[in-house]
Structure 1
Amino acid sequence: MFSQDARQVAATFQEGLPFWLFWFLVGLIALLVFFIFLRDKDLRRRIDFFFLSAKKRSLQLHLRRQLNREKKRKERLWLELGRMVYEQGFPLQGAESVVKTIDSLERKKKELLSRLDNFPPISEEPSFTPASARPGDSESNNPLAKNTRKSDEARIPVDGEKIKARRTWRKKRGKLEGKINDLERQINSLFLTLGRMADTVRLKDEKLVPLYEKIDAVNLRLSHLEQRLDSLHPF
């Protein structure tokens, strides 16, 4: 009886010892690290430098994202400015060749759009249900089912030709739309060039004042962002 109680006490002691020992060791290690941190100035500087570097890197990434957004906003304003200069016919010195190229591309685009509008529509034939799929129309029940099935089978090559023609039609129309999209990209690129030139010259017209004011505001934000980036040391 006594030996059994002793074994139970020993087992309880062995089960509880690792738990308290674990927390004791954790507290001891934490205390040692704390004292080392207090005594080692170089370690404190390295830790501070690590967190400071991480903070600066995060700030740099944030500023660069803002900078890219402002640059894209400025490009959109240049694009709008160039389109307005072209459509309103504002005289811009040195932009004659750009305007002529835009005129040529616009004529091509207009021609392609006209072809697209006059593109022959493809006929959509109603689908049919084969005789074998119609309820109550089996060959044994309906004497006409066999002839109907033959008629359906004869239509299969015809429908195959229609599907092929429909694919060809979509392919031709897709090529035409692709050419139009390519022309639009070229025209927008030239509008962007025209907008940059108009921003440099600063045409004297009241219609352009709102756009110039927006561009100036973007330039100011870009300048502030670049100054903040320059003030941060690279890591």
Structure 2
Amino acid sequence: MTISVTVADVHQMTPDVKQFRLVADDHEFRYEPGQHTEIHFELDGEDETRPYTAANLPGTNQIVLAIKRYDDGNGSVYMHERTPGDEIEIEPVDGNLAVRNLDRDAVFVATGTGITPLYPMLKQYARVGVGAAQLVFGERDQEHLIFRESLDQLHAEHEDLSVDYVLSDADGAWAGRTGHVQDHLPDALDGGLDGADFYLCGVPEMVVETQDLLESEGVDEERIVTEGWEADETEE
């Protein structure tokens, strides 16, 4: 069963990422922050689907998707051509990525659009989590940091939540961390590695390298949560 949604508005977040607010009539989206939907579109006469994470919290008739355009990505090209008023068929929101324990400290590590599932998870944790949360977010440069204003505001409103950016192609005006996020672990984590759950999402190389690093530092693999497909990608 698919859900019919209407594009309510489109917002250009960065040079290559657009945010789409999709509204459904007579439907309330219920899901765990971090889970994803799949959009349906037609390609060469065939029905295709692509997964995209809900960037907003559940409980309304709206779902927000932040989608990066890839010229060779049929789903992202299709979505970037949508305008307000367009109707789309999507799947119910589901998936494996979600906060496992709101009573434990949490560390979120993201690169690029891997922030899209971790952003609502971080918002959920800020609202109801009982420990401390840290985000380490890697991107190419400041211009491509999506959700930055919202993340900075979230950090300002919650003293037990920290946000750390790492840029791989920073200019001279950047005074923060540079390189790759995995190069700054565990140095970036003020609270250390003990007693926290880790949520990783982004380019497969980062996820696999970070997972290996954490395990080498003694973090139990059961406390490291990923989408689960990244190792196969790095082996291709």
- TM-score range (shorter-chain normalised) is under 0.3
Pick the structure with more strand per residue.
Answer: 2
Pick the structure with more helix per residue.
Answer: 1
**Relative contact order, higher structure (CA 8 A, sep 6+):** 1
TM-score (norm 2): 0.16
TM-score (norm 1): 0.16
Bigger radius of gyration among the two: 1
